[in-house]
Structure 1
Amino acid sequence: MKEILHRSDCPIGYSLDYLGDKWVLLILRDLIFTNKSSYGDFLASDEKIATNILADRLKLLEANGFIKSTVSAEKKNKFIYSLTEKGIDLIPVIIELMIWGSKYDSHDVKDVVKKLEKDKEGTIKQLRDKLSARINSDVPSGE
């Protein structure tokens, strides 16, 4: 697992120490905006993350409290990943990156960006509520 070394006391530097990796941001994106929640789901993303990098970034996110894993109820050798409150608190940050990217990207604007343009605060609340409900319904592994 990639070790986090804090280079300064700067809040932006601190944030980048955790979130300055494109794979971390894409995993968080998938957890926030899609129903992806397993290793296989993340592997199937368009960006084609390598298996060793995916495993490393999932460990990093979990070790630092952004996500948690639980054993799948259907398949005991499968882990299901979900955001923690710390991860959910990143929704506004990820949304701002999405809005900025859509402004300068030549591709069609995604439905979620159109929704954000109409009601950013309401959309953020809706995402937070949905993801918080998942946290409250999860049973920790081993219990």
Structure 2
Amino acid sequence: MNRALDSGPFFHGTTAELRVGDLFTAGRPSNYRPEVVMNHVYFTALRDGAGLAAELAVELAHGHGSPHVYEVEPTGTFENDPNVTDQKFPGNPTRSYRSSEPLRVIGEVHDWTRLSPEALQAWRDRLAALAADEQAQIIN
């Protein structure tokens, strides 16, 4: 049983080029901290939230790759993302979730809102500050 109250649709942002039916799985390096192997796959019910994640993934790859947003389907149970819900935004207004089980790609979506140049620069500055602070974390 899912411990989240959202029924989707759900989205995942990445630099990976995938096809319908492909799976996102746990056990891979984090886009945000490559030295960390992820125990979960993260996703959101907000299309633009996934777009933000995709654009940040490109920035963290030093501009390599293109941002992609996929509609995904959880293949098993999932829960509210405690990194966001419990620590930053009680009630989960970001509609962020995680699962230790794979997410299946339903299709790529293209109608998400890109960051403005100013917003993208603000994120670059924030990411640079986080990279300079070895104690900082974006996501666990």
TM-score interval for Structure 1 and Structure 2 normalised by the shorter chain? under 0.3
Structure number with higher helix proportion: 1
Larger radius of gyration: 1
Higher fraction of strand: 2
**Greater relative contact order (CA < 8 Å, ≥ 6 in sequence):** 2
